[in-house]
Amino acid sequence: MTTLQMRLGARKVGSEKFIVLEMSPPLSIVQKNLTASTAGTSSVLVFSQTTVDEDQLSDDDEGPMAKKAGIDDALEEIYTKILTRYPKDNCKDHPNVHCFYHALTKQHFDVGYHPAALMWAAKICSEANREVKTVDITCIPLGLGFFTPKHALKIPKKKPESESESIAESPSIMGTTNMSAASPAVDSTIALHLLQLSANQAQLQMMLLLGQGGFSPFTPRTPVPAAYTSAPDATHSSSPPLPENSLSLVEFCQQHKFNDNVLKRLQKMEFEPGDNLASITRDQWLEVGFTELSWKQVMKANRSYRKMLRASVAHDSTRLRLVNESS
């Protein structure tokens, strides 16, 4: 240090200035095997500090770490209550989750999702001391965090009815073979067509033999066919042939361009072409799925068909009378 000062003092006047910093000795000297009784006056003893618990520095009776543990326990307790109050299978739309349904907004939320449930539990704890609570075990914090529309559960769409569902089996008619509903779809349609055609034929035969000109409100599902005898009979043998333009229900729907839904609804009503629909109430056709417009279309088509049948029956009755008179 002295040598440096001499060199600096020998410099010419006006030259650059220097700032000299002089360091003092260290504040503490650590010596090995130094005790309080043997330490000198120039020695400084440094004692290592023991680890201090964070709770010991707190003035509260309960430290922050203990408080945090207590809060966690309280949240988990509320979480358990949430799972108990909203168990699985509680919601028919989401049977596999703990679902909360908000009736006002019609939204579903998965409260079994741990972060969402803890958020709800924390909100319940924060309002525990309020006189008027906006959130409790029955009311979620709607619009916050996991309880917004983007986190709401989607309602699964219902599966549409299978188009491959076979048409219901029709009762067998005397003299016809009973078709099984387990047959393929094409065979079932053909069988239904034949059964309905046979029913119409049997009905028209009975009307012609009894001299009836009108139609019952609904034909029975198992109409009684004309009596059968093995021996020739002049009365039955002279019966005129059935009208060639009589239609089954399938043909009726095809002729008037009614879709399969209309066909199924008419089958539910046990309707046969030519039935009197005047006695059918609004509740009855609404119950099977008809709208007012589609029902009016069916009634219009049926009125037209009934007029055609009346004309055919009148013509055939005249022919039958002439044949009987000539015989």
**Distance separating alpha carbons of residues 205 and 236, to the nearest angstrom:** 10
The verdict on residue 285 lying in a domain is yes
Range of the domain at 256: 185-228+242-321
**Which among 74, 73, 90, 85 is positioned nearest to 139, based on CA atoms?**
85
pLDDT of amino acid 73: 84
Q: Are 147 and 203 part of one and the same domain?
A: no
- First vs last C-alpha separation in the chain: 160
Q: Are 116 and 215 part of one and the same domain?
A: no
Task: Pick the more confident residue, 50 or 2.
Answer: 2
The structure's pTM equals 0.32
Indicate the residue among 129, 151, 173 that finishes a domain: 151
Task: Pick the more confident residue, 259 or 20.
Answer: 259
Indicate the residue among 151, 167, 197 that finishes a domain: 151
The verdict on residue 217 lying in a domain is yes
For the cut 50, the answer to whether the pLDDT of residue 232 exceeds it is no
Mean of pLDDT values over 81-102: 92
The verdict on residue 209 lying in a domain is yes
For the cut 70, the answer to whether the pLDDT of residue 97 exceeds it is yes
pLDDT tens, position by position, 161-211: 554 454 444 444 444 444 444 444 444 555 455 455 455 555 555 555 444
For the cut 90, the answer to whether the pLDDT of residue 84 exceeds it is yes
pLDDT of amino acid 312: 76
**Distance separating alpha carbons of residues 316 and 201, to the nearest angstrom:** 13
For the cut 80, the answer to whether the pLDDT of residue 222 exceeds it is no
pLDDT tens, position by position, 124-165: 999 888 888 889 989 999 888 899 999 999 988 776 655 445
The verdict on residue 163 lying in a domain is no
Indicate the residue among 151, 175, 200 that finishes a domain: 151
3-state DSSP call for residue 39?
Answer: coil
DSSP 46: -
Q: Are 214 and 296 part of one and the same domain?
A: yes
Q: Are 139 and 223 part of one and the same domain?
A: no
- At 126, phi and psi to the nearest 5? -70, -25
Mean of pLDDT values over 84-88: 93
Q: Which of 6-15, 40-49, 255-264, 314-323 has the lowest mean pLDDT?
A: 40-49
**Distance separating alpha carbons of residues 3 and 188, to the nearest angstrom:** 121
pLDDT of amino acid 121: 92
The verdict on residue 46 lying in a domain is no
Q: Are 220 and 306 part of one and the same domain?
A: yes
Q: Are 198 and 312 part of one and the same domain?
A: yes
Q: Are 140 and 222 part of one and the same domain?
A: no
Q: Are 278 and 202 part of one and the same domain?
A: yes
Number of domains in the chain: 2
The percentage of the chain sitting over the pLDDT mark of 90, rounded to a whole number, equals 25
Nearest-Å Rg of the Cα atoms of the chain is 49
pLDDT of amino acid 103: 87
Mean of pLDDT values over 226-238: 41
Q: Which of 56-60, 63-67, 115-119 has the lowest mean pLDDT?
A: 56-60
pLDDT of amino acid 153: 93
The verdict on residue 57 lying in a domain is no
The verdict on residue 302 lying in a domain is yes
Using 50, 70 and 90 to split pLDDT, how confident is the model at 58? low
Q: Are 199 and 311 part of one and the same domain?
A: yes
The verdict on residue 199 lying in a domain is yes
Mean of pLDDT values over 296-319: 83
**Which among 202, 195, 193, 189 is positioned nearest to 176, based on CA atoms?**
195
Q: Are 142 and 206 part of one and the same domain?
A: no
Q: Are 135 and 189 part of one and the same domain?
A: no
Task: Pick the more confident residue, 73 or 239.
Answer: 73
**Distance separating alpha carbons of residues 158 and 123, to the nearest angstrom:** 35
Q: In the chain, which ranges are E strands?
A: 99-102, 107-110
Using 50, 70 and 90 to split pLDDT, how confident is the model at 311? confident
Average pLDDT, the chain: 71
For the cut 80, the answer to whether the pLDDT of residue 100 exceeds it is yes
For the chain, the 3-state helix, strand and coil shares in percent, each to the nearest 5, are: 40, 5, 55
Task: Pick the more confident residue, 78 or 65.
Answer: 78
**Distance separating alpha carbons of residues 171 and 180, to the nearest angstrom:** 10
For the cut 70, the answer to whether the pLDDT of residue 228 exceeds it is no
For the cut 80, the answer to whether the pLDDT of residue 227 exceeds it is no
Q: Are 117 and 218 part of one and the same domain?
A: no
